Structure 1
C-alpha cells in the first residue's frame, strides 16, 4: 500500500507521458536519503534507480562527501556507462563519471578558511579539510574525524595548526564535535560569518562551511545548463539542511520522513524514511513505475 502522502504525486504529474519525460534528471543526497542508517543501498532502491536509468533519466549523487567517498557508489550504479554525475563537497565540485572531467569546481578563499578555523576553536570544534587524497586535521584520534575519514575512504593526516597547513585549493571546511557543542556553536558562527560563508549542519555532529552561494543548488543549476536543461527537468531528494537549496531549486523536491521539520517545509512531497525505502517509493510515484508488489 502506498503512503498517502505520496499519492498526490500522480495528480501533480498529470499522468501524461510528456509530463513524465520532463523529469530527465534526479539528484540524490546520500546519507539519510539514498542510503539507510547502516549506510546501505537497499535492493529495492537499487532496482528503482536502475529503472530510471533504463528510461534515460540521468542520475546525480549530490553529497557533502569528498569524491572518494562517492565514487564507490557511483561505480556500483554503473555511472561511467550511464553518464551519471557525482556532485561533491555540497556543490564545491561535480564530476562526469563517463569522462572523469570536472564540470564544476568552486574553492574557498584561503584567508576566509583561516578565519573560520581560528574562530571555531573557541567553541571546542575540531576543524578539518581535504586534499585530493587525504583528510587534514589537528586531532587524528577524534571520533568524528575518524567517522568522516571512514565515510570518505581517506587516510588521516594530522597537522599542528590547520590554518597554517591548508592545501592550495580548499573545497570546504568541516567542523566536528559532539551534538551539544555543535548546537551551541552553530548560530554564533553563522552570525559572525554572515555574507562570507554559508554555515549549516549536515549531521548532528558536523558543521559544513562553504563559500557563500556555493551549494548543491548552484552546482546543479550549472550542470543543468551544461546539459541544455533547467530546474523544471529536475527532481531532488534530501533530508538535511545542506539539501534545502536543491529541494527549492527542483521542479519536485522530495523530503525524507526522517528529515527535521524545518527541512520538510521545503518539500513538495514527503516520502517514507531512508530505512523504509523512501526513495524507491517516491520514484515509483513520480515516474509511475510498477512497485515490487505489482511486478
Structure 2
C-alpha cells in the first residue's frame, strides 16, 4: 500500500543530535519524493526554523506542507502561504506569561521572525540554537505583545518542567492547551491545536486518508499525531509513551531511523 503522506517531526526525529539532517536521510527523502511519494513536516518549531530544512529536502518543489508551532500554522510550501492558523489571543497570552512568572519559568514567544523574551536563564538560548532564529529581549512580554501569537513557551530545568506538565496534564485552561517537546520546554498553544488536528485538517483539505499515513515522532507533542495516523512509528530514542502507541519502533535519529523504517514499507 502506497502511503498517502509521510509525516516527520523534526527535533530528535528527522534531525540528528547535531541538529542536522544526515546525508543518507536527506538523499533518501529526496529520492522517494522523486519517485512520487509525498512528505510533510510537523514540528513545534516556528515557520522560519522549518523552511530551510524543508528546502534542503526539496519539499518546496514537490507541493509539500509544513505544520509549525505544534500545528498552530500550516504552510503550503509551493506558494509559501499559511493555509491554516489557530492563534493564542492576547488575554490568554497574558495569563500564560503570568503563570510563567509565578512559577519561575523563562518565558518566550515569536514575532516577525524573532524569538521574543524577557528575563535570563541558563537555557535561554536553546530555542535559538535549535531553530536558528535571532532573539530579541524586551522588558515586559505582556506590554510588548499586543496581537495574537501562535505559541508561547516556558523554559526551565527538566525536573521542574516535568512536575508542572504532570499537574497541567495537557490543559492550561479552557482556552489553552500545553505539551512538552524538549524536556525543558513547556509549550502553550490555543486549545485544540495539535499535530494530530493539523494532520486531519490537511487530510480534509487534500482529500487524503489519515489511515494511509505514516508518521515519525519521539516526544510528547507527537502523541496526538500518533493517535490520528494509520502507521505511527516511534524513533529508537522516543519516550515510552510513544513507543507504546507505535506500530513500529525504528532506529534512533542518529542512526537514520526514518529511511530504515520506510524501506520496510516502501518497496
- Rate the CA distance shift 1:156–1:66 in 2: closer, same or farther, 3 A: same
For residue 108 of structure 1, the aligned residue among 76, 81, 88 is 88
Q: Give the superposition deviation at 1:174.
A: 1.0
Q: Tell me, in whole angstroms, the C-alpha distance in 2 between the residues paired with 1:101 and 1:109.
A: 21
Structure richer in helix, relative to its length = 1
RMSD: 1.6
Q: Which residue of 2 aligns with 1:64?
A: 44
Partner of 2:118: 138
Pairing 1:226–2:234 present: no
Note the alpha carbon deviations across 1:120-161, whole angstroms, 9 max, x for none: 22221111100122111102x534331112222222111222
Gaps of 5+ in 2: none
**Which one has a bigger Cα radius of gyration?**
1
1:31 paired residue number? 11
TM-score computed with the length of structure 1 as normaliser: 0.86
Aligned CA distance change for structure 1 residues 189 and 163 (closer, same or farther; 3 Å): farther
Cα separation, partners in 2 of 1:60 and 1:274, compared to 1, 3 Å: same
> How far apart, CA to CA, are the structure 2 residues paired with 1:250 and 1:221?
9
Q: Which runs of 5+ in 1 are unaligned?
A: 1-18, 289-295
Whether the 8 Å CA contact 2:170–2:179 is kept in 1: the answer is no
3-state SS in 2 of match to 1:274: coil
Aligned mate of 1:161, from 122, 140, 160: 140
Which residue of the partner structure matches residue 241 of structure 2? 262
Aligned to 1:76: 56
For residues 151 and 9 of structure 2, the distance between their equivalents in structure 1, rounded to whole angstroms, comes to: 17
In structure 2, do the counterparts of structure 1 residues 192 and 281 end up closer, same or farther at CA, with 3 Å as the change threshold? closer
Alpha-carbon contact 1:126-1:175 (below 8 Å) kept: yes
How many residues are aligned here? 267
1:48–1:284 contact (8 Å) kept in structure 2: no
Summarize the alignment of residues 198-213 of structure 1 with structure 2, pairs less than 5 Å apart: 198-213=177-192
